[in-house]
């Protein structure tokens, strides 16, 4: 498995002209995702390096997408595949809409990156309700898009419940510790 280190991830983000605000968001998502992995209880096998790299790179084409209107999850996936990072690409391709949303499926790296992204609004760690409200404000341009965002909230809560079963301390405590750093 080819997983770039943090320095390489930052260089890639710079190479693909990620805007400073998108970089700040990605760094926060990275912090949340890595901290979640660090608090897992060992009941599930998660590749920390994979989670951390995917969290940093999840919005690699977001800045470009703001200009072109492209779906940054799809173009990010394609870019990372072309760079030789298929496992990271797979996670990046799921950070907007998860493939497997079953509450009984095993927790995996994509779940953690997806969840961490939903807890970070711009560069601030927030509640799920705050994040959903922001997404509706920014992207809920049609009733269909609003409904999709609200459906996604149910998925976020499903992943949150799945996460809770694998943590050594309460999720709220873990998130609160990050908010005060």
CATH number among 2.60.120, 1.10.3470, 1.25.40, 1.10.3210, domain 6-179: 1.10.3210
CA distance 74 to 143: 23
CA distance 62 to 67: 9
Tell me the pLDDT tens digit for each residue of 133-168. Answer: 999 998 899 999 999 999 899 999 999 999 999 999
Tokens of 50: 């994979």
The domain limits of the chain are 6-179
**DSSP-assigned letter for residue 106:** P
Tell me the pLDDT tens digit for each residue of 72-105. Answer: 999 999 999 999 999 999 999 999 999 999 999 9
């Amino acid at each position: 498995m080819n997983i770039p280190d943090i320095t390489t991830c930052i260089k890639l983000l710079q190479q693909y002209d990620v805007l400073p605000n998108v970089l700040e968001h990605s760094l926060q998502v990275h912090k949340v995702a890595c901290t979640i992995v660090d608090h897992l209880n060992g009941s599930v096998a998660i590749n920390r390096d994979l989670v951390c790299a995917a969290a940093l790179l999840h919005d690699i084409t977001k800045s470009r997408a703001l200009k072109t209107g492209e779906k940054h999850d799809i173009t990010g996936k394609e870019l990372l595949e072309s760079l030789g990072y298929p496992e990271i690409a797979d996670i990046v391709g799921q950070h907007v809409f998860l493939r497997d949303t079953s509450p009984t499926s095993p927790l995996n790296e994509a779940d953690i990156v997806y969840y961490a992204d939903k807890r970070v609004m711009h560069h601030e760690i927030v509640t799920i309700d705050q994040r959903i409200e922001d997404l509706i404000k920014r992207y809920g341009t049609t009733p269909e898009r609003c409904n999709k965002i609200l459906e996604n909230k149910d998925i976020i809560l499903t992943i949150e419940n799945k996460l809770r079963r694998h943590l050594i301390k309460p999720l709220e405590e873990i998130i609160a510790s990050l908010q005060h750093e």
